[in-house]
Amino acid sequence: MSTFKTQDGTSIYYKDWGTGKPILFSHGWPLDADMWDSQLNFLAERGYRVIAFDRRGFGRSEQPWTGNDYDTFASDINGLIEHLDLHDITLVGFSMGGGDVARYIGNYGTDRVSALVLLGAVTPIFGKTADHPEGVDESVFDGIRDGLRKDRAQFISDFATPFYGLNKGQTVSEGVLTQTLNIALLASLKSTIDCVTAFQTSDFRGDLAKVDVPTLIIHGTADQVVPFEATGALSAKIITHSQLKTYENGPHGFAATHQDQLNSDLLAFIKTVY
């Protein structure tokens, strides 16, 4: 397997397919790099180099007890970029991975970055605060943490319904549901729980204010996990000259339910960058 060591010695797994301008993908919770296989294969076949990694604590990466915070995640991304000596990168982040790539820009700038894509991202701020009352209430995150501690397998199995919008008319195969559960159960329970707190409490408004590269924001209008009006709609207002696309009635997991549309939209955007 392809791996590299982070600053604190954690081994991180990554995929590196194809040749050409690099596109680096950061996955959502509680998944790993395999969620991107359709996008990776599609873009690699069209002349791009695609890289996707398993976040620390998830998939095939090591499971440290600490470091499940966004500054560390951004440091891990920086380590991968330096390990592969990547330049002119398009950064793509889905859900909590949108926070990873935003914090990377906030902490390390855009010298190596040509473009940014935020897909159903938790940016600019996910949880409810005094100055973000439209955010998700703390009780929701408490319920997630409690559900994971009590019966993670059943919680993740049930979570697939709102994630993919199965209760709102969307469909995915039994294979996708099986893969989702299998991927989630590879992760450290500690990291899975800690990440809930990380994306609940992190504020990315300062990070987004530093974005000075072309940006594509895609969000489902029927996202039951990361509500569009409290996240994606606000990110588009903060990032000047960003392009916002909404998938009508799209759920959070639109990388699966709207696979072909997403692949096409990514390719079209990337062609404008390169």
Known catalytic residues are 95, 223, 252
**Calpha distance 138→135 (Å, rounded):** 9
Token reading at 40 = 């990776």
Asked if 12 and 83 touch (Cβ cutoff 8 Å), the reply is: no
**b vs e for 55-87, b when ≥16 Cβ sit within 10 Å of the residue's Cβ?**
bbbbbbbbbbeebbbbebbbbbbbbbbeebebe
With vertex at residue 269, the alpha carbon angle to CA 264 and CA 274, rounded to the nearest 5 degrees, is 125
β partners of residue 208:
none
**Calpha distance 251→167 (Å, rounded):** 10
